[in-house]
Amino acid sequence: MPDEDLPPAPRRTPGPGTLSVWAGEDEPAPGAGTQVPIVRSVAFGYRDVAQWEAVGRGEAPGDIYSRNTNPTVRAFEQKIQQLEGAESATSFASGMAAISNTLFTFLTPGDRVVSIQDTYGGTNKIFLEFLPRQSVEVALCPTDKSGWL
Ligand SMILES: Cc1ncc(COP(=O)(O)O)c(C=O)c1O
């Protein structure tokens, strides 16, 4: 039977297993690889400064510096974003980098944070020392009373 006579294949929403493997893997990998490689380059070069500037301004696809964006990290973040059904995702090299970045990005002087007393030591130090120094009020409730939150 010719292909055009076949009914269209049913489209299924990809499940978590499929997303874990394929989300963020839309671009062809170099050398006909089937998965995005681990790109260890710190910086990325372009044929001329104009192209580099276009990428830097976000007007052309690409990466400039791996601490900001990197093909491997982008694929990982897109997997997390799609698995979580989130608007976007970002990743960090350590737990404390994620926690401190989140707190110091969103909190401004005069804000109040409410959490539990028994957080990880580094997190507790931010709550008890660093945030009060930035005029952020921190209220930590007994951990077994987290219902108070
Ligand atoms: C609950 C919790 N938060 C934060 C951290 C800090 O993570 P990292 O050591 O990657 O900075 C840890 C580490 O064990 C943790 O258990």
Tell me which residue has its CA closest to atom 8 in ligand 1: 95
Determine if ligand 1 sits within 6 Å of the CB of residue 115.
Answer: no
Task: Give the pLDDT of residue 145.
Answer: 85
Determine which residue's CA is closest to atom 16 belonging to ligand 1.
120
Q: What is the pLDDT of residue 139?
A: 96
pLDDT at 1: 60
Average pLDDT for consecutive 10-residue bins of the chain (149 residues)? 76 91 88 90 96 96 94 96 96 96 97 95 97 97 85
pLDDT of residue 8: 81
**Exposed e or buried b per residue across 74-97, where buried means at least 16 C-beta atoms within 10 angstroms of its C-beta:** bbbbbbbbbeeeeeebeeeeeeee
CB of 120 closer than 6 A to ligand 1? yes
User: If you count them, how many residues does the chain have?
Assistant: 149
> How far is C-alpha 130 from the chain's CA centre?
24
Query: Cα dist. 36→18, 72, 92 in Å?
Result: 15, 6, 19
Q: Which pLDDT belongs to residue 31?
A: 84
Instruction: Say if ligand 1 is within 6 A of residue 88 CB.
Output: no
**What is the predicted pLDDT for the residue at 6?**
84
